[in-house]
Structure 1
Amino acid sequence: MRIVPAIVFLALFLGLNAWISWNGSLFWEEVLPASFIQIYWAVYAILAFAYIASMLLRKLLPYWGYSTLKVIGSYGLAILFYSLLLVPAADLIYGLLRLAGFGRNSALHTAGWFASGMLALLIARGSWNAWRPIIRRYDIVIDKKAGRFRELRVAMASDLHLGNIVGKRHLKRLIRSVETIQPDLILLPGDVLDDSVEPFVRQNMAEVMRELRAPLGVYATLGNHEYYGGHIDEYAQRMKAIGIEVLQDQTVNIADSLYVAGRKDKTAEALQGGRLPVTELLHELDHSKPILLLDHQPYSFDKAAEAGADLMLSGHTHRGQMAPNHWITGRLFELDWGYLRKHAMHVIVSSGFGTWGPPIRLGSRSEVIDIRITFQG
């Protein structure tokens, strides 16, 4: 049964690329020497099919070849996505100019340069947003005592997506951002890996990751992409070896003052073993102490609040990553990014530190969250 959706997807993918590349050829044939048109078609073909080729040929290609194709193809996906918006706009501009009495060449040049220029600006700006993380601060009050702590500074980074595209260079930016925050506690609510653990190992990302240090520890939880990769046990062991505990439906008592609880990702609900209901996970805890809950996908805030969580931290949405996708995530999730108060519980959903697919962000930023908690009880 899976072959039918695959055929439909492939037909749609080929059709859209044929339409976009044909529109582009009309313009570039006018502005480029005839000898360069073949180069246009070759470049377009590489950008359009590199990502799919990397997936299909993964087991046949050397690692560097697979990785190179995936990176090139990721930018190709961004170009396809925004071309689907810009080509109709360019066609409309061309039609209006022709109706206004402009000649074919003049109208074609205007519409073509508009689409090409806008595409270049969007990719450039999107790359800047993806590779230049910001620190976003939230100040919250939890109406409980936390032992000797009156205040707590937490650094949170979700959706690192470490892999072939997001690597050690961007990971070092995370280290610098966290050092700026000087947190008491570091929390990573899921999708630390993009999928496979292989790039993490091959590029020795643990060497950089081990620099994440905080007096009260560093804790992570699973996201859907760790499940997609299928190397959860190895990933958890490698993280533990560098001092980062991956919580899988587990809780940790921090300095006998507060708790950190980490859920398995929602993906686990469809797998053998499933995941614990949040009420069961938090049931045995001392609810007079603050409870910080890591749950990768931002669902069921009501249940988490009723179970006794005081702060829920999530990611997953990327806030759509590339506008106008944020219009979709805004409708799919009660909170797709930012802060929400749900009963007595605080909720923070991050747009994430890394990227999935194209390393492009428009309508969102790569971010690290600085949470300042004041305890009053």
Structure 2
Amino acid sequence: MKHNCTRRSFLKNGLGITAALLFSAAGGKYYSERIETKWIDIQHHTINNNLIPKGFSQVKIAQFSDTHLGFQFQLEDLLKTVQIINRLQPDLIIFTGDLMDRPNEYKLQNQIPPILKSLKAPLGKFCIYGNHDHGGYGSQIYRDIMYASGFQVLLNSSFEVKLINGDSIYIAGIDDAMLGKPDVGKALAEVPKGAFTILLSHAPDYADQTKLFNVPLQLSGHSHGGQVQIPFYGALVKPPFAEKYYEGFYQLEKTQLYVNRGLGTTRMPYRFLSRPEITIFELNQEG
């Protein structure tokens, strides 16, 4: 009887897998192009660290990344993103690069700042360069758009976020690893020793360099989470500087790395098992 049940279960599971494969063949393209690319995943995480000042406990940070405006992600998608982030009421907002897919070819540049400017964050809005922000002679275009949108553009530099009670943390940002000139030492030059610092690097694999500086937290994008993930195989697309670290948390000695899957797509207009992501981090003083 046990043998029959096992055989029956095996056949049932086999039929289920076969049906799933047939469904995937028939509807996978529609799902990966039209559904998952619009199905935003809001991730919530707590960052525990004894370097976080007491005044920053329960401070909320929103990270979004890799919109690639003009490829598949459009202005209406950006507006939806802004509305979602504002509903989540973060204290601080971070964008980790790749705003437009091809900056010099994007015809609606002047419509971006009014949308991004409506993002509300009492402790500030910060951004860095991605490779697409430099590509196509886009460096100055990106900088101008982000400044007009109320963002502090961090280019191998840092910014002190200070509360009324005197408590502070630092947001540091480095240039893109592919098309820029990242300099962690320069970015951290004005950061006091022992300060809780969030380092922004578009390229997640650059954490192998930043960990040498004992940065508590690095936030990255670039990978799109592989954009398409195949069961039992993993991420299908791993771009340079996102080959080792492509999704979620990694602990590299004293540096905690988080890789956001981004919101847009590039090269191919599909996502599969790699939903677009907005991340909310809540800071917590540990110990």
Class of the TM-score when normalised by the shorter of the 2 chains: 0.7 to 0.9
- 1:194 paired with 2:105, answer no
3-state SS in 1 of match to 2:204: coil
Instruction: Kindly provide the CA deviation profile for residues 270-299 of structure 1, in whole angstroms up to 9, marking residues without a partner as x.
Output: xxxx332x1342143112221001000111
Q: Which residue in the other structure is 2:141 paired with?
A: 234
Residue pair 1:291, 1:308 contacting (<8 A) in 2 also: no
Q: Which residue in the other structure is 2:16 paired with?
A: none
Q: Which residue in the other structure is 2:200 paired with?
A: 294
5 Å matches for 1:276-295? 276=183, 278-295=184-201
Residue pair 1:168, 1:203 contacting (<8 A) in 2 also: no
5 Å matches for 1:14-29? none
Aligned residue identity for 1:307: F
- 1:212 paired with 2:122, answer no
Q: 2:275 aligns with which of 346, 357, 365?
A: 365
Q: 1:177 aligns with which of 60, 84, 90?
A: 84
Distance 1:120 1:210 in 2: 42
- 1:317 paired with 2:223, answer yes
Contiguous gaps of at least 5 residues in structure 1 = 1-113
Distance 2:243 2:178 in 1: 16
Q: Which residue in the other structure is 1:265 paired with?
A: 176
Aligned residue identity for 2:210: A
1:148 shift after superposition: 2.7
Q: Greater share of strand residues, 1 or 2?
A: 2
1:266 shift after superposition: 0.5
5 Å matches for 1:1-377? 118-126=24-32, 127-146=34-53, 148-199=55-106, 201-202=108-109, 204-255=111-162, 257-268=168-179, 274-276=181-183, 278-324=184-230, 326-327=235-236, 329=238, 333-376=243-286
Aligned residue identity for 1:311: L
Instruction: Kindly provide the CA deviation profile for residues 296-323 of structure 1, in whole angstroms up to 9, marking residues without a partner as x.
Output: 0111324312213111011111122123
Q: Greater share of helix residues, 1 or 2?
A: 1
Residue pair 2:224, 2:261 contacting (<8 A) in 1 also: yes
Distance 1:359 1:224 in 2: 19
Distance 1:376 1:320 in 2: 32
Residue pair 2:204, 2:220 contacting (<8 A) in 1 also: yes
Q: Which residue in the other structure is 1:99 paired with?
A: none
Task: Tell me the TM-score normalized by structure 2.
Answer: 0.81
1:330 shift after superposition: 10
Distance 1:246 1:201 in 2: 21
The 1:247–1:284 alpha-carbon spacing in structure 2 relative to 1, beyond 3 Å, is closer
The 1:234–1:147 alpha-carbon spacing in structure 2 relative to 1, beyond 3 Å, is farther
1:177 shift after superposition: 2.0
Residue pair 1:145, 1:288 contacting (<8 A) in 2 also: no
Residue pair 2:56, 2:283 contacting (<8 A) in 1 also: no
Distance 2:150 2:117 in 1: 7
1:352 shift after superposition: 0.7
Instruction: Kindly provide the CA deviation profile for residues 129-168 of structure 1, in whole angstroms up to 9, marking residues without a partner as x.
Output: 1112120111120121426322321100111111253111
Task: Report which of the two structures shows the higher radius of gyration computed on alpha carbons.
Answer: 1
Q: Say which is worse superposed, 192-201 or 243-252, in terms of deviation.
A: 192-201
Distance 2:221 2:50 in 1: 25
Output the aligned Cα RMSD. 2.4
Residue pair 2:158, 2:190 contacting (<8 A) in 1 also: no
Residue pair 1:287, 1:308 contacting (<8 A) in 2 also: no
Distance 1:120 1:230 in 2: 41
3-state SS in 2 of match to 1:151: coil
Aligned residue identity for 1:339: F
Distance 2:102 2:267 in 1: 11
3-state SS in 2 of match to 1:293: strand
Instruction: Kindly provide the CA deviation profile for residues 311-370 of structure 1, in whole angstroms up to 9, marking residues without a partner as x.
Output: 101111112212337055399633210111222221100111111133321020011011
1:203 shift after superposition: 6.5
Task: Tell me the TM-score normalized by structure 1.
Answer: 0.63
Residue pair 2:98, 2:130 contacting (<8 A) in 1 also: yes
Distance 2:227 2:208 in 1: 26
Aligned residue identity for 2:62: A
Aligned residue identity for 2:72: I
